[in-house]
Amino acid sequence: MKLLSNKHRFRIAEGNLLVIVVVLMVILSFATKNFFTANNMRNLVRQTSVNGIIALGMTFVIISGGIDLSVGSVVGVSSIVVSKLLVSGVGILPALLIAVLVSTTLGLLNGWIIHYGKVPPFIATLGMMQAARGIVMLLSNARMIAGLPKSFTAFAQKVIIGFPSLFFVWLVVILITFILTTKTVFGRNIFAYGSNVEAARLSGINTAKVTLSVYAMSGLLSGIAGILMTSRLGNGIPTAGQGYEMDAIASAVVGGASLSGGSGTILGTVLGALLISLIQNGGNLLGINAFILQIIVGVLIVGSVWIDQKRKNVKS
Amino acid sequence: MKKLGKSALVVLLLLAIVVSGLFAQGAKEAQTGPKGVKPYNIAVIIKATDSDFWQYLLVGANNYAVEHPDLVKVTTYGPPSEADIDQQVSILENVISTNPDGIVIASTSSDATVPALEMAYDKGIKIITVDNRVNTPKVHSFLATDNTYGGSLAAEKMFEYLKKNNIATAGKKIAVVSAMAGVQVLTDRDNGFITRIKQLIPGIEIIPTRYVDNDIIKALSTTEDLITTYGRDLIGIFADNNHSADGVARAITEQNLHNRIIVTAYDSDPEEVAAIKSGAIKAIMVQDPYGMGYKGVDSAVKAIEGATLPAYVDTGVVIVEQHNVNDPASQGILDPFTLKKY
């Protein structure tokens, strides 16, 4: 019963966000002559895809009441691993699989440390953020890896029926994560776990499975994002992903996920990621001063959570 | 009561340890200072270990040591990222406590390292600063690229290629994509570029500088947005370091605008070199980090042996373009790892 009312509440939060996104798009369409063009729309979804995918993994973690600060570093690991393998002549498919496997393992390790070591998620993933970046530097000698095969770099440049290929990957991830959170027992367990760990455990939910799988999911999606980024840039980049955890957390939180756990939606995060890109893109198109843009993003993050809190208080 | 006595005892003990430690250190420090015997111990401290540029500097410094094994022993240090200013200060302080004969440092902050460097100078350690000026007279020499001049060279190259490609400049616009706000060397490059391009093309409009957090993807997105916004009015882009240039070049390549938008940039990495070859970037201003490392150690040796050094040495930039990118001379500049002797 409680779950149902929760769901209902999120729909309202998403609705608000959707209105903001649409209004902003309408304003930008009138304010600039180039915003509502096919080309710019393609740019916009392409610019959002990488963060959009990482943010979805982050949403799982946040719903479970945790946080994953290591996503940016895992993006780096994935980028360097896939590049190293490709340059040394490994086929594309095995290279992709290994990179994804390594990233997922790092996520799994996060979950394992958090569950079995009882280390707070903030600390466990902070450590992973450092260690994984160290692995990146060690593997790459802090140097860019060039000479990736054309067949690999061509993927991110592809446009399929008018949309960039990255968008389709994002779309598939959205669909799968949406089904996972709304239609499966696993999804419900994450919400239950995030709302009240003890109650979840007593009602027979396998808490180890929940913790390990949400962090593994976050690692997996960061790994995919790292591969897409590498394909787009045509190089393995040791500094890739630095600071991306902040964008991912911001997207999820603006999208209505609560850092205290138990709430958050896939569609909310998608809209949150879109809104953050929209402000950047719109700001560039309007030629707004870069520093003012940064202030706007900051105000947006705090403001959206504030309004969300107020609405919740009114309800209860 | 018993409890109180116990904690008082602990406090006293701790105090005793701290005090004796202080005395012991004081005694040690009085005895040692730089020894000044060959091989000289020289510490090289870079801004960050996470970039090609600083790795190149280390190659230069280490090569010097390999070539002169009886003269110097080089030890290298650096924080993981350029954002870690405080960490660089701690590294410097730790290095000073080992009493090297000379320190070669690329200081990230112009001020944060001043107290430690002054202390080292007073102890008799020879201080050579490279790349970034530090606000104290207590250094023996400063080796760096004149970034304002380098920026103006980038403007001249852009002007040259605009003419070569018959691109009209009247009423058009030029953009600057900067890696980061508030970094002196980048500001110098941007200002050098803007001042010179305005002299060369009177009436050209410079679009407000866009900053991209040294992130290639952000540089790419920003460039896409610039192209979308200004369309055919945009005829040139200056990118002030390698990451910003990589993103700009990617956008130019994706939309195949090689001959419509002239890009000149700073620094080098494999992606920039590929862009020079493809024509996405027309010219890059390449500094000589290898030379900074090599000459930095050499200057330290000279200072230790009593020579008076010039206060400032310009290590210069080399302009790399399509016609000279494959020259052997350019190879050493573009990838100093090919010069590595260890």
Q: Which residue has the higher pLDDT, B100 or B85?
A: B100
Whether residue A17 lies inside any domain: the answer is: no
pLDDT band with cut points at 50, 70 and 90 for residue B3: low
Average pLDDT of the segment spanning A267-281: 92
Cβ contact A258:A37 at 8 Å? no
Whether residue A6 lies inside any domain: the answer is: no
Nearest in space to A71 (alpha carbons), one of A190, A211, A217, A176: A217
Residues of B in contact with A34 (CB under 8 A): 228-229, 231
Residue of chain B nearest A244, judged by CA positions: B215
Q: A291 vs chain B: nearest CA distance in angstroms? A: 9
Rounded to an integer, what is the distance from CA A242 to the centroid of its chain? 14
Read off the pLDDT of residues B119-173 as tens digits, 9 standing for 90 and up.
999 999 999 999 988 989 999 999 998 999 999 999 999 999 999 999 999 999 9
Please indicate if any CB of chain A lies within 8 Å of the CB of B208: yes
- Residue B259: predicted pLDDT: 92
Whether residue A31 lies inside any domain: the answer is: no
Please indicate if any CB of chain A lies within 8 Å of the CB of B226: yes
As beta bridge partners, residue A89 has none
Length of chain B: 342
Average pLDDT of the segment spanning A283-309: 84
Whether residue A14 lies inside any domain: the answer is: no
Question: Quick check: A235 and B271 CB within 8 A?
Answer: yes
- Residue A146: predicted pLDDT: 84
Residue A226 has pLDDT above 80, yes or no: yes
Distances (CA, A) of B208 to A279, A285, A289, A291, B204: 17, 12, 7, 11, 13
Whether residue A24 lies inside any domain: the answer is: no
Please indicate if any CB of chain A lies within 8 Å of the CB of B225: yes
Question: What is the C-alpha separation between B300 and A257, in angstroms, rounded?
Answer: 56
Mean of all residue pLDDT scores within chain B: 89
Please indicate if any CB of chain B lies within 8 Å of the CB of A225: no
- Residue A251: predicted pLDDT: 95
Considering A71-75, A160-164, A281-285, the range whose residues carry the highest mean pLDDT is: A71-75
Domains of chain B and any CATH numbers: 40-145+289-317 (3.40.50.2300), 147-286 (3.40.50.2300)
Please indicate if any CB of chain B lies within 8 Å of the CB of A37: yes
Please indicate if any CB of chain A lies within 8 Å of the CB of B246: yes
Residue A1 has pLDDT above 50, yes or no: no
What's the half-sphere exposure (Cβ side, CA atoms, 13 Å) at A3? 13
Residues 6 or more apart whose Cβ sits within 8 Å of residue B257? B227
Which of B51, B231, B270 is closest, CB to CB, to A235?
B270
Mean of all residue pLDDT scores within chain A: 90
- Residue B240: predicted pLDDT: 95
Size of interface A-B (CB pairs under 8 A): 89
pLDDT band with cut points at 50, 70 and 90 for residue A46: confident
Domain of A306, CATH number, reads 1.10.3470
Whether residue A10 lies inside any domain: the answer is: no
Question: What is the C-alpha separation between B102 and A195, in angstroms, rounded?
Answer: 59
Q: Which of A29, A53, A227, A237 to mutate to test binding with chain B, by most B CBs within 10 Å of its CB?
A: A237
Residues 6 or more apart whose Cβ sits within 8 Å of residue B11? none
Please indicate if any CB of chain B lies within 8 Å of the CB of A246: no
Whether residue A9 lies inside any domain: the answer is: no
Token pair for A264: 């958050």
User: Residues A134-156, buried b or exposed e (16+ Cβ, 10 A)?
Assistant: ebbbebbebbbbeebeeebbeeb
Q: How many domains does chain A fold into?
A: 1
Question: Quick check: B210 and A290 CB within 8 A?
Answer: yes
What is the domain range of residue A78?
Answer: 44-315
Place of tokens 């304010």: A31
What's the half-sphere exposure (Cβ side, CA atoms, 13 Å) at A60? 31
Q: Which of A75, A278, A281, A289 to mutate to test binding with chain B, by most B CBs within 10 Å of its CB?
A: A281
Residue A153 has pLDDT above 50, yes or no: yes
Distances (CA, A) of A180 to A173, A191, B25, B57, B273: 10, 11, 62, 50, 45
Whether residue A4 lies inside any domain: the answer is: no
Position A305, amino acid? V
